[in-house]
C-alpha cells in the first residue's frame, strides 16, 4: 500500500434516490428490501445452509461433505464435491429442456456496404456438440487434466467453446486479452507453464484485422514451451504456418465425436488462471477453482440482473477480462440464458452500433463500462434517439466508479427512466459481483454500488480493522470468505498472503478505498495502491515503469494516474534520461512504442515528461503524490516537507508535457 495515502478524503455527495418501480419489483426474483435483508442475514449467519441450498440447484457428480472449510486465509468450498463447469453450462440445460434455446447469439463486426452483419445463433444443443468435439480434439492432441491452455482469441463463439472445452476436460485456461502485446503473451505462457495455445488468424476491430496469430508467433520466439498452436481461421488473411506446431481448428474437430465424457472435477480443482496487474511489475495469475466459482457465477448473474428465461443478455466485456469469464460465458450459460456476443468496436462504423445491436436483437439486459458510457455521451444522444431501445429492462455498469453525470445519462437516455441501474463492484480476485443493487429491490443513488451481495461481509475499516463511522473514507475489506474468491496466485503463494491478507488483520483487503453513507451504501473511491484504472482496465504503474526503463535512454521512470475525461484515469509518465541522451519528440514516440509493445495499446501514456530528477524522500522513495498533483493540476500545493531536494519540483514544473 502506498504510504503517500495517509487519509482518504471523500467529498462526493449525491442524494438523488431512484427506487425500483412497483411493477418491476412485482416480477423480479427478489421483490423487496425486507426479502433481501432476510436472505442476506441468513447468508452471513448461516452460510452453510444458504450456499448449500444454492449449490443444490446445480449438478454435481459427487455431493460435497462440507460446505466451507475456512482456515484463514485459505478457503475450501463444497469440500469433497465433484462437478464440472461445462456440464452445468451445457448438459444440465439440455436436460432441463433448453436444448433448442439460443445459448450464444453472436454478431460479427464487418458491415459490407448496405449489408447486414453476420449473425450466428448457437443453441445449447449445438454449443454442447461444438464443445464436445473440440474437447475431444484437445484430448487427442495430448491435453490432459491440469494442463494449462492459453487462449488468445477474438470475440467469436469459438472463444467460449475453447473455454468450455478446457473446463470439460479439466484443463485450466489462461485467457489473454486480444489487445495485449506479444510480450504479454510470452510472459503469461511462461508463468503458467502452458504447453498449448489456442488462437485465431485475426479478429475484426474498427474495420481492420488485429493479427493475433502474428503476435503469437512473435511471442513464441521467446519460449519453446508451447507444443501446439491451434488456429481458428476467422479473418482469412495469409498467415505463416509452422508445420508440426500449428494445427487448424478444423482439423482438431474433424472426425471428433460430439460426445465427450466430462472430467469429474474436485470442487477445489483449478478452473482457470487469469492474469491481472498489481502493484509490482509482474502481473499476477489469479487462481479460480471450480465449485465455489460456479455457484457464485450462477447466483450473482441470476439476482444482479434479475435474469429470466426470455431475456437476451449482453455483457459487452471481452473474454480476456474477468467480466468476460464470469458474465459473458460462465454466469449466463450456467443459468441457461441467451448470452449475446459482439465481435468488434462500439464505434464501428460509428457510435450507433451498440444501439443498432440492441434494437436488432431486442437485448433486454445490457452490462457495460462507465468509460463506454462517457464515450457514448460525447458522441451525442441523437445517435441513440434514432433507435428503439424499448426491449431494455436492466442496465449494468462495471469496472470503475461511474460518475453521477454518466449514471443519469445512462438512466435517462438509454434506459428512458424505466430500467434499474446496477452499478456492480467487484474484482478479478473476487470472481463475482460483490457489491451491487438488486434491480427489484434497491433504491439506487447515482455513483454508489450500494449494498453487499449475499454472503459478502464487506466493511470500510481503518488499518487496524476497526469499522469506520458513516461517511468516513477508509479501506474496503471483506471479513468473511465467499465462494468465488481467489484461491491464490499462480506460482506465488506468499504473494497471496502478502498482497491481500496482510494490510488489515483478519480481512481480505481489496486495494480500494471506500466510504459507507448513512444508508449503509458503499461509495467506491478508487485504488489506494499503485494500480491504475484506465478505461476500467487495471494497469500497474510498476509494469509501465519497467517497460519505460527497458528503453536504453531511460535512467528512471515514475508513472502516476491523472483524471481523464473519457478513460476515468489517464497515464502520466515522468522520465529521467541517462547521460548522453536528450529529450526529443522522436524519443517520446519511441517510449510510447516501447510501452505499447511491452504491454499493449491500453497502457500507452497520455503524457510523457522528461525531467532531470524525480522528487524523492530522504530515504529515496519517489513521491508519487507530488507527481500526481503536478500531472493532474500543473502545480504542487501539497505537503513537501519530506522532499529531499526542493528544487526538483520547480524544475519539474518547467518540464515539457504532452
Q: Where are the beta strands (DSSP E) in 257-302?
A: 265-266, 270-276, 284-289
How far CA 256 is from CA of 62, 106, 130, 195, 229, in Å, comes to 28, 24, 10, 21, 18
8 Å CB contact between 477 and 508: yes
527 binds ligand PRX (CB under 6 A): yes
322 binds ligand PRX (CB under 6 A): yes
449 binds ligand PRX (CB under 6 A): yes
Nearest to ligand PRX of 83, 424 (CB atom)? 424
Distance, in Å, from the CA atom of 259 to the CA atom of 133, rounded to the nearest integer, reads 7
Q: Binding residue for ligand PRX (CB under 6 A) from 398, 432, 539, 547?
A: 398
Give the 3-state secondary structure of residue 213.
helix
Sign of CA dihedral 476, 482, 488, 490: negative
Cα–Cα nearest to 43, from 602, 482, 408, 375: 482
Retrieve residue 516's grid coordinates: 459507507
Distance, in Å, from the CA atom of 383 to the CA atom of 165, rounded to the nearest integer, reads 39
Nearest to ligand PRX of 324, 440 (CB atom)? 324
Distance, in Å, from the CA atom of 523 to the CA atom of 531, rounded to the nearest integer, reads 18
Return the range that interacts with ligand PRX (CB under 6 A); candidates 78-86, 388-396, 423-431, 635-643: 423-431
517 binds ligand PRX (CB under 6 A): no
Nearest to ligand PRX of 283, 399 (CB atom)? 399
425 binds ligand PRX (CB under 6 A): yes
Give the 3-state secondary structure of residue 229.
strand
Residue with cell 478505461: 535
Distance, in Å, from the CA atom of 373 to the CA atom of 354, rounded to the nearest integer, reads 11
Q: Binding residue for ligand PRX (CB under 6 A) from 98, 524, 562, 587?
A: 524
Return the range that interacts with ligand PRX (CB under 6 A); candidates 56-64, 255-263, 522-530, 542-550: 522-530
535 binds ligand PRX (CB under 6 A): no
Residue with cell 426479502: 35
Nearest to ligand PRX of 84, 276 (CB atom)? 276
For the bound state, the minimum distance from the C-beta of residue 376 to ligand PRX, rounded and expressed in Å, comes to: 18
Environment class of residue 520 by beta-carbon count within 10 Å: exposed (0-12), middle (13-18) or buried (19+)? exposed
Distance, in Å, from the CA atom of 136 to the CA atom of 300, rounded to the nearest integer, reads 31
Return the range that interacts with ligand PRX (CB under 6 A); candidates 110-118, 152-160, 406-414, 510-518: 510-518
For the bound state, the minimum distance from the C-beta of residue 73 to ligand PRX, rounded and expressed in Å, comes to: 18
Nearest to ligand PRX of 361, 538 (CB atom)? 538
How far CA 156 is from CA of 106, 132, 181, 343, 398, in Å, comes to 7, 17, 19, 6, 22
Residue 469 DSSP label: P
Return the range that interacts with ligand PRX (CB under 6 A); candidates 97-105, 165-173, 421-429, 464-472: 421-429
For the bound state, the minimum distance from the C-beta of residue 163 to ligand PRX, rounded and expressed in Å, comes to: 17
Retrieve residue 250's grid coordinates: 478444423
Return the range that interacts with ligand PRX (CB under 6 A); candidates 9-17, 393-401, 573-581, 584-592: 393-401
Residue 95: partners with Cβ closer than 8 Å, 6 or more residues away: none
Give the 3-state secondary structure of residue 512.
strand
Nearest to ligand PRX of 78, 327 (CB atom)? 327
252 binds ligand PRX (CB under 6 A): no
538 binds ligand PRX (CB under 6 A): yes
> Half-sphere exposure of 258 toward its Cβ, with a 13 Å CA cutoff?
8
For the bound state, the minimum distance from the C-beta of residue 541 to ligand PRX, rounded and expressed in Å, comes to: 14
For the bound state, the minimum distance from the C-beta of residue 448 to ligand PRX, rounded and expressed in Å, comes to: 9
499 binds ligand PRX (CB under 6 A): no
Nearest to ligand PRX of 139, 628 (CB atom)? 628
Cα–Cα nearest to 134, from 157, 116, 158: 158
Retrieve residue 590's grid coordinates: 519511441
Distance, in Å, from the CA atom of 50 to the CA atom of 44, rounded to the nearest integer, reads 8
453 binds ligand PRX (CB under 6 A): no
For the bound state, the minimum distance from the C-beta of residue 575 to ligand PRX, rounded and expressed in Å, comes to: 26
Nearest to ligand PRX of 524, 626 (CB atom)? 524
Q: Binding residue for ligand PRX (CB under 6 A) from 400, 503, 543, 629?
A: 400
346 binds ligand PRX (CB under 6 A): no
Nearest to ligand PRX of 279, 427 (CB atom)? 427
For the bound state, the minimum distance from the C-beta of residue 322 to ligand PRX, rounded and expressed in Å, comes to: 5
How far CA 155 is from CA of 44, 110, 148, 294, in Å, comes to 37, 13, 21, 22
Nearest to ligand PRX of 131, 371 (CB atom)? 371
562 binds ligand PRX (CB under 6 A): no
For the bound state, the minimum distance from the C-beta of residue 143 to ligand PRX, rounded and expressed in Å, comes to: 28
How far CA 121 is from CA of 100, 108, 171, in Å, comes to 10, 12, 27
For the bound state, the minimum distance from the C-beta of residue 276 to ligand PRX, rounded and expressed in Å, comes to: 5
Nearest to ligand PRX of 346, 536 (CB atom)? 536
For the bound state, the minimum distance from the C-beta of residue 555 to ligand PRX, rounded and expressed in Å, comes to: 31
399 binds ligand PRX (CB under 6 A): yes
Residue 603 DSSP label: G
Return the range that interacts with ligand PRX (CB under 6 A); candidates 29-37, 171-179, 328-336, 519-527: 519-527
φ/ψ (deg, to 5) at 288? -120, 135
Q: Binding residue for ligand PRX (CB under 6 A) from 200, 235, 290, 533?
A: 533
For the bound state, the minimum distance from the C-beta of residue 284 to ligand PRX, rounded and expressed in Å, comes to: 10
Nearest to ligand PRX of 228, 325 (CB atom)? 325
* Count of residues engaged in binding ligand PRX, rule: CB under 6 A: 22
For the bound state, the minimum distance from the C-beta of residue 321 to ligand PRX, rounded and expressed in Å, comes to: 6
Q: Binding residue for ligand PRX (CB under 6 A) from 40, 272, 366, 426?
A: 426
Site residues for ligand PRX, window 401-420 (CB under 6 A)? 401
For the bound state, the minimum distance from the C-beta of residue 278 to ligand PRX, rounded and expressed in Å, comes to: 10
φ/ψ (deg, to 5) at 246? -85, 135
8 Å CB contact between 597 and 603: no
The 10 Å Cβ neighbour count of residue 562 is 19
511 binds ligand PRX (CB under 6 A): yes
Where does 308-412 have alpha helices with state H?
322-324, 331-334, 353-361, 370-379, 382-385, 404-409
Q: Binding residue for ligand PRX (CB under 6 A) from 84, 136, 510, 576?
A: 510
For the bound state, the minimum distance from the C-beta of residue 298 to ligand PRX, rounded and expressed in Å, comes to: 17
Where does 12-145 have alpha helices with state H?
22-27, 33-45, 47-56, 85-86, 92-93, 124-141
276 binds ligand PRX (CB under 6 A): yes
Positions in the binding site for ligand PRX (CB under 6 A): 276, 322-323, 398-401, 423-428, 449, 510-512, 524, 526-527, 533, 538
Amino acid at each position: 500500500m502506498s504510504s503517500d495515502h495517509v487519509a482518504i478524503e471523500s467529498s462526493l455527495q449525491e442524494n438523488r434516490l431512484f427506487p425500483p418501480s412497483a411493477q418491476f419489483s412485482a416480477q423480479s426474483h427478489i421483490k423487496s428490501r425486507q426479502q433481501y435483508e432476510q436472505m442476506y442475514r441468513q447468508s452471513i449467519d448461516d452460510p452453510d445452509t444458504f450456499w448449500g441450498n444454492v449449490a443444490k440447484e446445480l449438478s454435481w457428480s459427487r455431493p460435497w461433505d462440507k460446505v466451507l472449510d475456512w482456515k484463514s486465509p485459505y478457503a475450501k468450498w463444497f469440500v469433497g464435491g465433484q462437478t464440472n463447469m461445462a456440464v452445468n453450462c451445457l448438459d444440465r440445460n439440455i436436460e432441463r429442456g433448453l436444448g433448442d434455446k439460443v445459448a450464444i447469439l453472436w454478431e460479427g463486426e464487418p458491415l459490407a456496404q448496405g449489408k447486414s452483419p453476420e449473425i450466428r445463433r448457437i443453441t445449447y444443443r449445438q454449443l454442447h456438440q461444438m464443445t464436445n468435439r473440440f474437447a475431444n480434439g484437445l484430448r487427442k492432441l495430448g491435453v490432459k487434466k491440469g494442463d494449462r491452455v492459453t487462449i488468445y482469441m477474438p470475440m467469436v463463439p469459438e472463444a467460449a467453446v475453447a473455454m468450455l472445452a478446457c473446463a470439460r476436460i479439466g484443463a485450466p485456461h489462461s485467457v489473454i486479452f486480444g489487445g495485449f502485446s506479444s510480450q504479454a503473451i510470452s510472459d503469461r505462457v511462461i508463468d503458467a507453464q502452458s504447453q498449448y495455445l489456442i488462437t485465431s488468424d485475426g479478429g475484426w476491430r474498427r474495420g481492420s484485422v488485429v493479427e493475433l496469430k502474428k503476435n503469437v508467433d512473435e511471442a513464441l520466439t521467446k519460449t519453446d514451451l508451447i507444443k501446439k498452436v491451434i488456429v481458428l481461421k476467422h479473418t482469412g488473411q495469409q498467415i505463416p504456418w509452422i508445420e508440426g506446431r500449428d494445427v487448424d481448428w478444423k482439423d482438431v474437430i474433424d472426425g471428433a465425436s460430439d460426445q465427450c465424457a466430462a472430467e469429474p472435477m474436485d470442487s477445489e480443482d483449478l478452473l482457470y488462471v487469469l492474469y491481472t496487474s498489481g502493484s509490482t511489475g509482474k502481473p499476477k495469475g489469479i487462481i479460480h477453482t471450480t465449485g465455489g466459482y460456479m455457484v457464485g457465477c450462477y447466483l450473482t448473474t441470476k439476482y444482479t440482473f434479475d435474469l429470466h428465461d426470455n431475456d437476451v443478455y449482453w455483457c459487452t466485456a471481452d473474454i480476456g477480462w474477468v467480466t468476460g469469464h464470469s458474465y459473458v460465458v460462465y454466469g449466463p450459460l450456467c443459468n441457461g440464458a441467451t448470452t449475446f456476443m459482439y465481435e468488434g468496436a462500439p464505434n464501428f462504423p460509428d457510435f450507433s452500433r451498440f444501439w443498432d445491436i440492441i434494437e436488432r436483437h431486442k437485448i433486454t439486459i445490457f452490462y457495460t463500462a462507465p468509460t463506454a458510457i462517457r464515450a457514448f455521451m460525447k458522441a451525442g444522444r441523437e445517435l441513440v434517439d434514432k433507435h428503439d431501445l424499448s426491449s431494455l429492462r436492466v442496465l449494468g455498469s462495471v469496472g470503475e466508479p461511474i460518475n453521477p453525470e454518466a449514471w443519469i445519462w445512462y438512466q435517462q437516455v438509454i434506459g428512458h427512466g424505466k430500467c434499474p441501474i446496477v452499478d456492480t463492484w467487484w474484482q478479478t480476485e473476487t470472481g463475482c459481483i460483490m457489491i451491487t443493487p438488486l434491480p427489484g429491490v434497491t433504491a439506487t443513488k447515482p455513483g454508489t454500488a450500494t449494498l453487499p451481495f449475499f454472503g459478502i461481509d464487506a466493511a470500510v475499516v481503518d488499518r487496524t480493522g476497526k469499522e469506520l463511522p458513516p461517511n468516513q473514507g477508509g479501506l474496503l475489506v471483506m471479513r468473511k470468505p465467499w465462494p468465488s474468491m481467489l484461491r491464490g496466485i499462480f506460482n506465488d503463494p506468499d504473494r497471496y498472503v502478502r498482497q491481500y491478507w496482510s494490510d488489515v488483520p483478519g480481512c481480505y483487503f481489496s486495494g480500494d478505498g471506500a466510504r459507507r453513507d448513512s444508508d449503509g451504501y458503499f461509495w467506491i473511491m478508487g485504488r489506494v495502491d499503485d494500480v491504475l484504472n484506465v478505461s476500467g482496465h487495471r494497469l500497474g504503474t510498476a509494469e509501465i515503469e519497467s517497460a519505460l526503463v527497458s528503453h536504453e535512454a531511460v535512467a528512471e521512470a515514475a508513472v502516476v494516474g491523472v483524471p481523464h475525461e473519457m478513460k476515468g484515469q489517464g497515464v502520466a509518465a515522468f522520465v529521467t534520461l541517462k547521460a548522453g541522451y536528450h529529450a526529443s519528440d522522436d524519443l517520446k514516440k519511441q517510449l510510447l512504442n516501447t510501452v505499447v509493445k511491452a504491454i499493449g495499446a491500453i497502457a500507452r501514456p497520455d503524457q510523457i515528461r522528461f525531467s532531470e530528477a524525480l522528487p524523492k524522500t530522504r530515504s529515496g522513495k519517489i513521491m508519487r503524490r507530488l507527481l500526481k498533483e503536478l500531472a493532474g493540476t500543473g502545480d504542487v500545493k501539497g505537503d513537501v516537507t519530506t522532499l529531499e531536494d526542493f528544487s526538483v519540483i520547480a524544475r519539474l514544473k518547467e518540464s515539457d508535457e504532452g
